[in-house]
Structure formats: C-alpha cells, structure tokens
Structure 1
C-alpha cells in the first residue's frame, strides 16, 4: 500500500501544474455556514457542470466559466471521471484519465487539462466543487456506464494523487456521485478515498458526499469525521418538491453541520424522465430536430421544469436554513453540443442554455441573501398567521437571529398575514423583492405592533415574491 501511494506522489511531483495560492473555505464556528479563511461569509451558489472536464475544450471551458462568474455563481461542480463513459471515451483532446483503466496509472495529459480548468475557474473567483469520480465507478445498486474500478486500496491511492495535485487549488471535494452507499465495503472505499485526499492535501479542503436522489449524505455518513458539511439531492421527481424537509432533517442532527442542496430539479429537464425513457439509442429520433434537441415534447406527459420551478426551490431551501443552493440545467450538466445524442432529452445545446431564465435569476437570488446577511437566518413557520397549506401555495418564512429582519417567500401570489412580534426595532420598514428582476418595491407605512396582512404587488400565475421587514428605515446595503 505505501509503495503504491509513494509512486503516485512521485508522479504528481513530476507532472503537477502548480496552481496559485487560493483562499480555502472553512465551516463557521456555529456549524451552520461556510466562510473564507478571512472569516467572510461564503454564499454557495453552485452549478452542476458534471461533464466539464470530459466534454469541453479549453476555449469552451473558458467561455462557460466566464459566463457563470458574470452571473454571480460561486461554485462549479464537475466530475474528474465523468458519467458519460468517462473512463473509455476520451476528453476533447483525445485523452483518457488512466492507462489500462488503472487508477494507479494516471494519464498526465488528461490531468493537465483538468489543471487548466481548475486554474481558470479560480482565476474567475470560482471555487471548484470537484468530484473525484462519478458513483458508477464504485459498486452500487444502480449501475451506470462504469466500469467499476475502485476498491479501498486504490481509492486511497487515487485520493492521494488528487489531494497532492490540487493541494493549492481553491476547491471543495465532493465524493459519491449520484449513488447511495450499497454496503460496508462501498462505505470503506469512499472513506479510503477521503483519507487519501485529506492526507496528501494537508487537510486544507472541505469534503462532502453527493448522494442519490431524495436523500442526503447524512443518510450514510451521519457521524463521519470527513464529512465537513452535508449535501442532499431532492432530484427531479416533481414540481414544488418539499426541499425544506432535507434542510430541516440535516440541521436537526448533532453535531450540527452546514447543509446544501447539491442537485435539485434542473431547468429544462423532463419531470420523472426515467418513467418515460428506455435509455436506448435513437428512441426519440422522431421527436428531435436537426440539432439533436427535442422539437416535440409530447413523450413527456408531465412536462419540463422551468426557470420558475427551480427558482421556487432555491428560495425554499434558503429560508429553511441551507448554507447555499446549487442550480442546474439539463443541457449544461451533460455539456450537450449541437448534433450530439443527449443522455436525457434537451431543449438546447449547452451554450444556448447558459442564459436560460432560471440561470439569469440566480444573480438576483444571491444578491438578496448577501445583502440581508443570510448567516442570520432562522427558519420560523410560526410567523405565518394566515392559511399555509403544504403545496404550491406554501409560504416559507424566517427571521434574523438578532431580530433585525423578517422574511416570507410566496411561490404563488396570495394574501399573507405576518406576526411581527419577533421584530426588535421600534420603527419598521418593509419591501417587496421581485425574484425575477431583483427590483424592490416599498411597502406603505404600517403599525409594528399589529399583525401585518398584505397582498403582493402582482398576481400573475408565476409571480413569486419575497417580503422583507426591517428594523431600520433603510436597508444597509452590503458593498
């Protein structure tokens, strides 16, 4: 075992493309959020670019990263050994990650390309959420393209290799890759990989686990020391999914750890696509156009998720106390190119999908929560005095830990009655915040001593609104 690890470290020393020193993320002392090593709050706004290292060349990768940085994203989640036959299908430069499918024989040319993308992301101020491998390369009850190549011995060696190579990069390690932990041997394999990453990386990077849909990393690794924060995947099962339940469950565990949605419903993905697909080549050829995208959506009877749908999940997650949110687009995760065959039916190529409405609305989402200081959020549904059914009409509410603000998010426009008794200020002011364009509308003066009953400014079917009550006349904008 030691010889294997030493040989890999030697390979790293020969071929490592040194990355610039970067800030590393830490968990806050209260165990709820992430921060930089300068003690500044870090807002996780991720994008699932799973096939980034595998599918894009350097010009394409630079375009993708520059675009996401301009939209306010802070984390790019990508997989070193990708889902789309990443062990046997070469990257954009014809390179495979390993020689002879052996994790102890890395191909320097492949990892040089990974080096470039990681460094480029860091240059744009983006943190890489790096998955060492997709979960189908480890045994699971839901096989994929695979093949299965990892065990506890070579997983630790591979972790050593990556940890050493990217020691100075600004990144977070995300183990797993859309898979549950099938048995104790599988758990030991992931734990060994985590140990390798931690040892050769000098413990500088946070780690978590990306699970299968409708589950959290805490389901398999609740007490694991190497899990610095939890990650859950609510998945693509339905609109108005009760994502806040995952946050509530994770935050009730002790010791408390930050928790983040790592894969919600994607914009432009069919609802419950697995019920309508056989995953066979050409099965939708009669429904696609010359670019390889769907021109007829009728095979998917429950429709596709929209920008509005994913925006609702983002706000529901944050008001439940999550440390951030990961957006995703169906064409972007698979880096679907014009004329290619998709994995899951797409509505556009990856370039065209970058500025879809849901993605564009994320900059307003991030701006809002940074300006109010999201680290003060305490989920509190008791603030809603009006009817509040647990469906698309669900209103999510929260207050500041110091009583300085109160929040309520309306996925559907409706009358709301708020209990203001938790507010500490003698003078209150209020605003309606429009998640669609980031604009605020002042609320007429109201009494701070009585419950507030109010209607949002507009009542369109997809006109979601956030109400913000402050203990100051003017909000202190965070520069």
Structure 2
C-alpha cells in the first residue's frame, strides 16, 4: 500500500512530540546579537543570513517538488528560505492539492487543509536546518497595490491581529521560523497609513509565540522597513529591498543609513536584483535593457554585506515564481525553475557565506578610507570596504578588477599579508607579505568588468586573523 508523503508529514506535524523526537535543531532559536549588528543562535553560535527567495513554494509545488528544491538550496549553502503564507496570487487560486488558503477569502476562516501543506514545508525545512522566513500575507491583502491582482482588501486591525495570532500559535513550536510582515508594500502610501494594521498583526504574533521570536518587515522597492518601523518594539531587524529597477542600486547606502539609526538594529537586503530578472521592466521592459546576470547579483550581495549587513538574500526570477509548463510566464522570465536552480549566481553565493564565516562575526566596521586610490567614480564600480574593530584584518570588494592603493597603517603589526579571493569560485591566491605602509598598491589576478575580486589584508604578525586556514568548501 502506498501512502502519500505529504500525508505522512502532515500527521507528524499534528503530533509535536513525534516531531521533537525526529528532528534536532542544533543551536536553538535565532536571536539578534548583543551588539545589534547580526544574528546568533540561542547557544551563541553566529548565524550569517544567506537567503533564497521561494515566494510561491506553497502554492505552486507538490511535496516532492518542494523536497527537490529544499535539498538543492541546502546543498548550495543557503540557510534561509523566504516564502509566503497568503501569496501574491489571487486568494481564489488553489494549490497543487486543490486547496485555497481561506474560506470565503476571510482571514477569520483559515482553511486547515491548505495550512497542513505549510506545516509540511516548515517541517521539511527543519529537517534540513533551514530557516523559513515566513511572509504572513502579501501586502496587497492590506492595501491595494498597482500591478497586483484584484483581490479585495481583507485585513483591518482586528483581522490582522487574529490571523497573526492564529499563525503564531500554529507554528510556535517550530524554532526555524522568522516572521515577516509587509510583502512588497510600503506601510504608508497615498491610499493611507497602514502601520496600525501591521502593528496589530505583530501583536497577534507576539501573543501567540511570546518574545522568543524574530519579526521584520519586507518593504516595497528601493526602501527599508526602517522608514516606518525602526522605533517600534516589535521590529527586531530591518529589511531592505534594493529591487530590480536599475543596475547597481546603491544597496550599500541603505545599509549604512540603517546602521546609523537609533535604536540600532541589524539590517539586510532581502530583495536585491534577482538573477535572470529583466532590468527595469516597469512600466514596459525594453529588451535592450537586458537581464541581471550572476555578475550583477554578486556586486549587490557583496557590497551590501561589506557595508555592514547581517547577511543577504539571493533570488532567481524563475525560482521565486516556480515557473513551469502549468504557469503563465511572469515578467519575461527566460527559463523554468528546475533549470534555474543551478544558475551561476546560485552556485556562487555560498562563497560569500564561507568568506564571512572565516572571520569573527562581530566587530566589523565599514571603512572606505582604507581605499586611497582606485575607488570607483560611479555606482557600477563602487568599491566597499570594512575592517575589524581589532584592526587585525580588512576586506575590500572590487566590482571591477583594477589596481588599487590602500592605506594599511590602519591595521596592527609591522607587516601586511594580502590575499585575493575569487567570488566566482571561492579560490584564494596569496599575493604577498609586505612591510606595512600608508600607500600600498595591489593588482588583482584579472582585470575589467565581470572580474570582481576581494582583497583581504591581515596583520601578518598576528595569529588572530588566520585566513591562511581557509579551505574552499
């Protein structure tokens, strides 16, 4: 007799004791670090957020397809998957098992059968040590957003509070949930001020989970959640969407601005330009504008993190929508989701995580003054740099390979050891060990556009930096 896998997993979710016996979440729930710049598990283990965008997973995939996707992302080094509860599609749409999320489009009447599927997805992620960044509802269910569907506005404060609480109580037992409000929408628009509705939803989540949780807000393009919520107690960290409207959107400026705010909170770009997304497709895409490719992705990821972000989220234009032969092509996607899983950018992003995990997670300070010659004159070749507060090491991301001059006197020690780190393949080249000076020239192994490099400088007389121990994974 065959028993469908989704049924087995759904039964396991309904009996929490069996879940705890089967799966161990290694380090405890996620928390903000004491210095308010990043994340760590409950036991103090650092956590570098490397997300993938899987918005439509719940609607468009079978359980077997979801397993394939989650296995692929775990193998590629991702540790967060961003998905939606109530999706950006119509509330009338049925998932692959014929279920709609709500009865009569009413958030007071969730469809148990639909959310049993979400139970399964959360459990599958838990088994793979993946965090689910759960967007409770896409923003068009709170405010009418041009370009989205014709669903009615279904949330006021009371319904938002109820639904947030209902979701939170359902998933309170799971340690791998980060709660995301918003869903590609500004909290204050011409149509009105919707902060109280989102605040009510946050109150519902907190009443259902207690304070041992993380909540954030996913904004519309070219914005940060800090514009509306940095001073609110329920917002634990900020999210940025530098978006897909232009090449080289200054994500580093959003990050730097957020980190200057009081109270201080971690921040990250949760939606930079997706790989294979058409560049600036609104209101009409011009084919000559092209697509964002892996080079465009790398530039945004590295520059946001080097500016001080607590991590970053990658996205692929076919994967977020899980484009397949059953679906209408969304916004000029150029391939299906299975083909897109192995695109170059998706394979390369793990090298950013490996690099950042090779050094202490705290005590990083953005410092562009290290660069004394070779800084770009435009956004497309803008270089980002940071150093350790201990002054034992520094890193510089060069989006265009070219000679650079640096002031190494800001590092400790008499000698400086230099490495070139290749973000395309994770390989390391030892440049030299040199006497430290206020003007040191370095030339990367290759030059020009699409030849981006990271220059790593260490105090050669100290054992505390020790990048020499790095091994490509």
Same fold judged by TM-score > 0.5? Answer: yes
> Structure 1 residue 374: deviation in Å?
4.0
In the alignment, which residue of structure 1 is the partner of 2:306? 319
Contact 1:140 / 1:179 at 8 angstroms: preserved in 2? Answer: no
Against the structure 1 CA distance between its residues 147 and 343, is the aligned structure 2 distance closer, same or farther, given a 3 Å change threshold? farther
- Between 1:134-143 and 1:108-117, the stretch displaced more is 134-143
- String of CA shifts for 1:31-86, please: whole Å, max 9, x gaps: 1111100111110000111001111110000110010000000100000111122x
Contact 1:431 / 1:469 at 8 angstroms: preserved in 2? Answer: yes
The answer on 1:276 being equivalent to 2:284 is yes
- Between 1:52-61 and 1:421-430, the stretch displaced more is 421-430
Alpha-carbon distance between aligned partners in 2 of 1:106 and 1:461, rounded to the nearest angstrom: 51
Give the counterpart of 2:223 among 195, 198, 215. Answer: 215
The correspondence of residues 457-468 of structure 1 with structure 2, limited to 5 A, is 457-468=445-456
Q: CA RMSD in A?
A: 1.7
Secondary structure of 2:87's counterpart equals coil
The answer on 1:42 being equivalent to 2:47 is yes
Alpha-carbon distance between aligned partners in 1 of 2:36 and 2:468, rounded to the nearest angstrom: 26
TM-score computed with the length of structure 2 as normaliser: 0.90
Against the structure 1 CA distance between its residues 242 and 185, is the aligned structure 2 distance closer, same or farther, given a 3 Å change threshold? closer
In the alignment, which residue of structure 1 is the partner of 2:319? 332
Structure 1 unaligned runs (5+)? Answer: 1-14, 278-298
Contact 1:51 / 1:82 at 8 angstroms: preserved in 2? Answer: yes
The answer on 1:175 being equivalent to 2:162 is no
The correspondence of residues 281-292 of structure 1 with structure 2, limited to 5 A, is none
Give the counterpart of 1:304 among 272, 278, 291. Answer: 291
> Structure 1 residue 347: deviation in Å?
1.4
> Structure 1 residue 301: deviation in Å?
2.2
TM-score computed with the length of structure 1 as normaliser: 0.89
Give the counterpart of 1:415 among 403, 415, 418. Answer: 403
The correspondence of residues 390-469 of structure 1 with structure 2, limited to 5 A, is 390-469=378-457
Alpha-carbon distance between aligned partners in 2 of 1:393 and 1:352, rounded to the nearest angstrom: 30
The correspondence of residues 54-453 of structure 1 with structure 2, limited to 5 A, is 54-85=59-90, 87-142=91-146, 144-145=148-149, 146-169=151-174, 170-182=176-188, 186-276=194-284, 299-338=286-325, 340-388=327-375, 389-453=377-441
Aligned residue pairs, count:
443
Structure 2 unaligned runs (5+)? Answer: 1-12
Contact 1:104 / 1:157 at 8 angstroms: preserved in 2? Answer: yes
Alpha-carbon distance between aligned partners in 2 of 1:356 and 1:472, rounded to the nearest angstrom: 37
Against the structure 1 CA distance between its residues 181 and 303, is the aligned structure 2 distance closer, same or farther, given a 3 Å change threshold? same
Alpha-carbon distance between aligned partners in 2 of 1:384 and 1:427, rounded to the nearest angstrom: 18
Alpha-carbon distance between aligned partners in 2 of 1:61 and 1:232, rounded to the nearest angstrom: 27
> Structure 1 residue 309: deviation in Å?
0.4
Against the structure 1 CA distance between its residues 339 and 112, is the aligned structure 2 distance closer, same or farther, given a 3 Å change threshold? closer
- String of CA shifts for 1:212-248, please: whole Å, max 9, x gaps: 0000001111211110000010010111221101001
